Amino acid sequence: MIDAFTRTGPLMDATSYPLWAQRLIQECSASKRRVVEHEFYQRLRDGLVSARTMHQYLVGGWPVVEQFSVYMAHNLTKTRYARHPGEDMARRWLMRNIRVELNHADYWVHWCEAHGVSLDDLQAQDVPSELQALSDWCWHTCSQDSLVVAMAATNYAIEGAVGEWSAVVCATDTYALGFPEEGRKRAMKWLKMHAQYDDAHPWEALEIICTLAGNSPGKGLQAELKRAICKSYDYMFLFLERCMQLEQQESHQGSRLRGALAQGLTGR
């Protein structure tokens, strides 16, 4: 296979990958930054997100967390043994990591419990439609798109952004110290696992993507990969923007209530 890609440099170094992949990383970087550097995660890090907004965030995020192993299983069904080196890599990687994702669903439930969000709340999915779009997109791409595109949209784009924003939230102890000491470790496990553990995952996914696509894929495939990756970031951004709208509404209502109380006190 003349066009085959085999990584020779460090896993987590962009220059270890073909030039087209390096361009792809750069072209998608602005969309990724909108997610990783979003105000919501800065407020979460500082312990400033309201209980109502946090409830919506956790409920809205549950389908992606709960079904992530299912997305990966969809991609696993697209592989065949010894048909292509990239498929063999994907096959081993997906089989190994599906079980990991099952455990992550448990950790998300523990995080939710620390915020008073029950399993019934998660299953009811009483959230704005903007908070459901990301899970719908993940399901669509993994059930309909090719292996290389679907892994780019989920295991590369989403896991990469999650690893970076969770590191932002865990950069200080402010948010963690908001939980009672006896339940703090359990409440923070999902965030800590992603901030410390998942940072290699998107690079591993990128290696698989490059092995599947080769050193010089056609411009059509390159464009499709860029669309899929940026669409994942865009749906994550839409999710966060809706959460901030909820937060602003909460703040506005609180200001109105404080104003009404102050007016009532002065009127006595």
Q: pLDDT of 87-131, one tens digit each?
A: 999 999 999 999 999 999 999 999 999 999 999 999 999 999 999
Residue 119's nearest CA partner among 110, 132, 130, 131 is 110
Give residue 262's pLDDT. Answer: 58
d(CA 75, CA 146): 8
Residue 264 has pLDDT above 70, yes or no: no
Confidence at 199, pLDDT banded by 50, 70, 90:
confident
Confidence at 265, pLDDT banded by 50, 70, 90:
low
Give residue 257's pLDDT. Answer: 53
Give residue 252's pLDDT. Answer: 67
Residue 254 has pLDDT above 60, yes or no: no
Residue 249 has pLDDT above 70, yes or no: yes
Q: 20 CB contacts (<8 Å, ≥6 apart)?
A: 213, 215, 216, 217, 222
Give residue 193's pLDDT. Answer: 93
Give residue 250's pLDDT. Answer: 79
4-24 mean pLDDT: 96
What is the residue-averaged pLDDT of the chain?
94
d(CA 133, CA 129): 7
d(CA 22, CA 10): 14
Contact 204, 93 (CB under 8 A): yes
- Other Cβ atoms closer than 10 A to 20: 17
Give residue 3's pLDDT. Answer: 82
Give residue 266's pLDDT. Answer: 60
| pTM, entire model | 0.93
